[in-house]
Amino acid sequence: MVGGGGGGPLRRVGKYEVGRTIGEGTFAKVKFAQNTETGESVAMKVLDRSSILKNKMAEQIRHGRLSEADARRYFQQLIDGVDFCHKKGVYHRDLKPENLLLDSQGNLKISDFGLSAWPAQGSFLLRTTCGTPNYVAPEVLSHKGYNGALADTWSCGVILYVLLAGYLPFDEVDLTTLYGKIESAEYSFPAWFSGGAKSLIRRILDPNPETRIRIEEIRSDEWFQKNYEPIKEIENEEVNLDDVNAAFDDPEDDNEDAFEDETGPLTLNAFDLIILSQGLNLAALFDRRQDCDKLQNRFLSRNPAKVILSSMEVVAQSMGFKTHIRNYKMRVEGLNADKTSHLSVMVEVFEVAPSIFMVELQRAAGDTSEYNTFVNNYCGKLDDIIWKFPTEKGKSRIPRLSKSHS
């Protein structure tokens, strides 16, 4: 069942039982649902038909692509918004159509800065691997550091392609194949793309960040310049939300406390830490050796929990593994390096103190030595999120469990 305890009846949509609202937008709600046949938990997006029709968005939702004029106008506004962020030293790192909104005047707004960042003082490059795989720049996957502005520019190019085509330029079920095509910029144009649009997209989706077009060059592009009007900020805008509120009045939502709270990772208290460390010496939590049959790994991070999981997800996918995230837990599974056996690893994030999180990896299935190899390779690509602190000799040390060697 989706929910428990007293409350209103659950709604059923096909083979899914629909529970509480876990997110809302202007024209939709995201609800927790469960497949009654398999027990699988999913997020179900529910669109309000009357609001969509009233705001003339039906054509955009029922047909995948926009006209060239509309796509250009939204792309112009996207570039304006991204450029504004970059001038403030902020890099979004998760640009995609789902994070783009329209205001009451039909102007584009950029949302969801949960993965945004700015370079550390004295450093020009970002190092956290994160974002949505289909929109991420190839250099972000290299784990060698990247320019946040140029990575955002690549994502803008993918968005422009999607607006014009109605589908993604890079879209493969197999993630290894997907990343290979991203790294080589292997894609094709549909017949209806104009020459100007194709020329600009080619310059944006350049896999070499050194030669990729910059935002100031995009602004001077002939295709981009057509009918370009910079957005003017609206002062004292009055917005009537009566219709929106009416569309989202749902008595079912009054009983949300009957469902599990998914607002953040579990918090470990002092007793949890003592149990984990098997004593009052908490240093053992990150240093003690493990029994081979209970092989696991833990490390600390000062990144937000959402960034930690996003980074670990992208890195796992870039290694050819499939991932599934729920409630700040992630399952990583796939074939081993020799493609001869199955490996499954559970990852969970815990909050141990304000702004300090512990990440725990555990072998769920597969050979111990294969798990050991996976942990070495995996954690070697996560240095940007693992918290390092100085030791007595002044050298940085990664606070994580040493791994047993069988």
254 catalytic, yes or no? no
Please give the Cα distance from 43 to 18 (Å, whole number).
Answer: 9
Q: Are 336 and 367 in contact (CB under 8 A)?
A: yes
One-letter amino acid at 376 equals N
Nearest to 112 by CA among 125, 131, 129, 126: 131
Mark 91-116 as b/e (b = at least 16 C-beta within 10 Å). bbbbbbeebbeeeeeebbebeeeebb
* DSSP state at residue 143: T
CB atoms within 10 A of CB 243: 13
DSSP notation for 89-127: T-B-S---GGGEEE-TTS-EEE---TT-B-PPTT---B-
112: left (phi over 0), alpha (psi -120 to 50) or beta: left
Nearest to 357 by CA among 345, 365, 348, 366: 348
Instruction: Write out the two tokens for 241.
Output: 């939300």
- Classify residue 198 by burial, with Cβ atoms within 10 Å: 0-12, 13-18, 19+: middle
Please give the Cα distance from 211 to 158 (Å, whole number).
Answer: 17
Q: Using only C-alpha atoms, what is the Rg of the chain? A: 24
Hey, which residues does 24 pair with through a beta bridge?
29
Instruction: Give the angle subtended at the CA of 159 by the CAs of 154 and 162, to the nearest 5°.
Output: 130
Nearest to 133 by CA among 96, 167, 78, 90: 96
Hey, which residues does 323 pair with through a beta bridge?
332
Q: Which of 48, 80, 94, 206 is catalytic?
A: 94
Asked if residue 54 belongs to a known ligand binding site, the reply is yes
> Looking at the annotation, which residues are catalytic?
94
Q: Would you list which residues are annotated within the binding site for ATP? A: 54
